[in-house]
């Protein structure tokens, strides 16, 4: 066989293999080499352990590989794992949870002074859009405060998509309402932050993107822009297009979180 023919055969095999759906065992082997760009190594390693355990559980239940790929690509796997690690954290009853100051109608954390409201996955974006569809065209949070999340009810400051709120919202915690008030006004005060399960969430999204490179797209979205599009009545496909991040946003978010 000539060198040229051998090279062409190898290229043909590569192209043919690119369209195949990898099985879960292959995904787990590849995960060992995958990276969560922007995150510190210890957080990346924790995310890898969490995701590998998840894949192992699905493999033991003979879940079809296509279904697993869909959960990884949509971010549903990241959401589920963040929920699981969040429940584990709450079960430990750390002192910070006992002193939480969060309550209905306290929406200072929903005043989005910086960024775009936070990073959410496609699965979360779809869920949020469906929850806000019934209130499209009504007054929204921006009628209460110009930088408020559009998902808020302007009269009560309660979230109108509370059951569908994404991980970034579920992971926020404050122990000091006055600090939140100060921060919402543009100041800087200690007393609020994110629970650790949000780090697991970001790690799993980043690892999923690296794991599925060349196979499936793992997109992220702006919470604020998705909510805005939903309350303005845009259909789902247009809302997703309007809110979709550039690919570098995930790494930037991971890097910012890693520094904090």
pLDDT in tens, 53-79: 999 999 999 999 999 999 999 999 999
* Residue 198 maps to a domain: yes
The fraction of the chain above a pLDDT of 70, given in percent, is 91
Contact 127, 76 (CB under 8 A): no
Q: Of 33, 30, 3, which is closest to residue 17 (Cα–Cα)?
A: 30
Q: Is residue 133 over pLDDT 50?
A: yes
One DSSP character per residue, 32-96 reads TT---TTS-HHHHHHHHHHHHHHHHHHHHTT--HHHHHHHHHHTHHHHHHHHHHHHHHHHT--HH
Q: Is residue 241 over pLDDT 60?
A: yes
Q: Residue 246 and residue 230: Cα distance in Å, rounded?
A: 20
Place of tokens 């926020």: 172
pLDDT in tens, 217-239: 999 999 999 999 999 999 999 99
* Residue 6 maps to a domain: no
* Residue 58 maps to a domain: yes
State residue 86's pLDDT score.
Answer: 87
The fraction of the chain above a pLDDT of 90, given in percent, is 68
- The residue with greater pLDDT, 260 or 90, is 90
State residue 88's pLDDT score.
Answer: 87
* Residue 80 maps to a domain: yes
Contact 34, 207 (CB under 8 A): yes
Q: Is residue 130 over pLDDT 80?
A: yes
State residue 99's pLDDT score.
Answer: 74
190 burial class (0-12, 13-18, 19+ CB within 10 angstroms)?
exposed
Helices (H), 104-247: 122-132, 167-170, 177-184, 197-211, 223-231, 236-243
* Residue 119 maps to a domain: yes
Q: Residue 125 and residue 123: Cα distance in Å, rounded?
A: 5
Contact 173, 218 (CB under 8 A): no
- The residue with greater pLDDT, 182 or 2, is 182
* Residue 153 maps to a domain: yes
- Split at pLDDT 50, 70, 90, the class of 15 is very low
* Residue 17 maps to a domain: no
Q: What total number of domains does the chain contain?
A: 1
* Residue 1 maps to a domain: no
Q: Of 37, 79, 28, which is closest to residue 252 (Cα–Cα)?
A: 37
Give the predicted TM-score (pTM) of the model.
0.88
State residue 3's pLDDT score.
Answer: 53
Mean pLDDT, residues 94-119 taken together = 82
Range of the domain at 129: 22-259
Contact 39, 47 (CB under 8 A): yes
Q: Is residue 202 over pLDDT 70?
A: yes
One DSSP character per residue, 220-249 reads EEEHHHHHHHHHTT--HHHHHHHHBPPTHH
Mean pLDDT, residues 104-114 taken together = 86
Q: Is residue 95 over pLDDT 90?
A: no
């Amino acid at each position: 066989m000539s060198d040229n023919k051998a090279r062409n055969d190898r290229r043909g095999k590569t192209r043919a293999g690119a369209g195949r759906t990898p099985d879960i065992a292959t995904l787990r082997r590849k995960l060992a080499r995958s990276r969560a760009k922007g995150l510190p190594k210890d957080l990346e390693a924790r995310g890898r352990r969490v995701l590998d355990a998840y894949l192992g559980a699905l493999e033991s239940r003979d879940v079809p590989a296509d279904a697993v790929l869909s959960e990884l690509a949509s971010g549903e796997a990241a959401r589920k794992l963040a929920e699981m690690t969040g429940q584990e954290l709450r079960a430990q009853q750390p002192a910070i949870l006992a002193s939480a100051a969060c309550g209905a109608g306290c929406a200072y954390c929903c005043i989005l002074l910086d960024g775009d409201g936070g990073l959410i996955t496609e699965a979360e974006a779809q869920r949020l859009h469906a929850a806000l569809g019934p209130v499209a065209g009504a007054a929204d949070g921006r009628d209460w405060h110009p930088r408020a999340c559009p998902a808020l009810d302007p009269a009560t400051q309660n979230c109108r998509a509370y059951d569908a709120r994404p991980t970034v919202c579920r992971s926020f915690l404050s122990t000091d309402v006055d600090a939140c008030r100060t921060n919402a006004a543009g100041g800087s005060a200690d007393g609020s932050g994110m629970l650790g399960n949000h780090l697991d969430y970001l790690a799993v999204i980043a690892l999923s993107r690296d794991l599925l490179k060349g196979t499936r797209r793992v997109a992220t979205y702006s919470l604020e822009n998705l909510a805005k599009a939903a309350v303005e009545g845009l259909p789902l496909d247009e809302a997703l297009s309007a809110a979709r991040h550039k690919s570098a946003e995930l790494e930037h978010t991971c890097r910012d979180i890693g520094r904090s």
